[in-house]
Amino acid sequence: MTRVAIIGAGSWGTAMAALLGGKGLDVALWARDPEAATTITTEHRNPRHLTDVVLPRRVTATSDVRAAIDGAEVVLIATPSHAVRAAAEAMRGALAPTTPVVSLAKGLERGTLMRMTEVLGEVLGNRERIAALSGPNHAEEVSVGIPSASVVAAYDEALGLRLREVFSAATFRVYTNPDVVGVEIAAATKNVIAVAAGMSDGLGFGDNTKATLMTRGLAEMARLGTRLGANPLTYMGLAGVGDLIATCTSRHSRNRALGEHVARGGTVESFAEQTHMVAEGAFACVAVDELGKRHGVEMPITHQVRGILYDGASVSSAADALMGREARDELHGMGLVDD
């Protein structure tokens, strides 16, 4: 393995370029902005994201998608979820039918409610070469070598093992999991719970509240995942509780920050204007809520987050609504007790 293409030069794409380039792989990073691509190649830094990180000399950048994937043995999709389909369509016809494609995006496609590997498979074909990487991986930490771990989920066992070797580094431990559905649903749903956790912070609530939101949020995540065929144990792993902890508690978390911003009177639009960042939970709350309705799964926290962000509900009224719900068995909806 010598050459990897990364489509998307945001924080996560840049962090992966630093990680993989640092272990000796040749990395071609696609950036939408030609000037940013030139700066990355000539000055070995990203002028817009993780600007203090010095990128290895093996990392080059281009604003031409087809040039980026030319000769690549693995392609990573590091765009926001709403841009994954466009990225795949830009590669179609120029990518060998067996070249592995790995989604780093954590979300569901708006409208179709498809997972990212489903989108990639639909556009590019050959589902067996599609995989997803997920876990408690803040770009700010991975990019500077702070010890982290992740999970690669692939439909094909041999591909999962191969990708584990590609991603594994001294400071980045990688596990495999065949449960692609569970890993991707966990990745999308935890972002919504993190927005709720941020709202709790914004209201000045305490540790009890956040712990409750995270625990009941995890149950909500697992209810939906298992209804869609996921292994419930996936939610006890890195893609589930691991990523949930990091996203709900970290100062680096965009989704937590969005929730706090909204609870203090801001909006999704003002957050984007101030931070110039994409908080996936802002989009995922609608898709996840709709997916829950489609499959008859209760998603009370997700539903309240959606109501706050888009339907004019207040954060305090949403908190009251959640606390006033009918009390049930803790394992309700998990298929483990009689409901």
Which are the catalytic amino acids? 190
What is the phi/psi pair of residue 149, to 5°? -140, 155
How far apart are alpha carbons 152 and 160 in whole angstroms? 6
Q: What is the 8-class DSSP label of residue 56? A: P
The encoded tokens of residue 5 equal: 């293409």
DSSP lists the bridge partners of residue 5 as: 28, 75
Nearest by Cα to 46 from 61, 63, 24: 61
Residue 15's nearest CA partner among 179, 139, 116, 182 is 139
CA angle 247, 258, 18 (to 5 degrees): 50
DSSP 19-52: HHHHTT-EEEEE-SSHHHHHHHHHHSS-SSSSTT
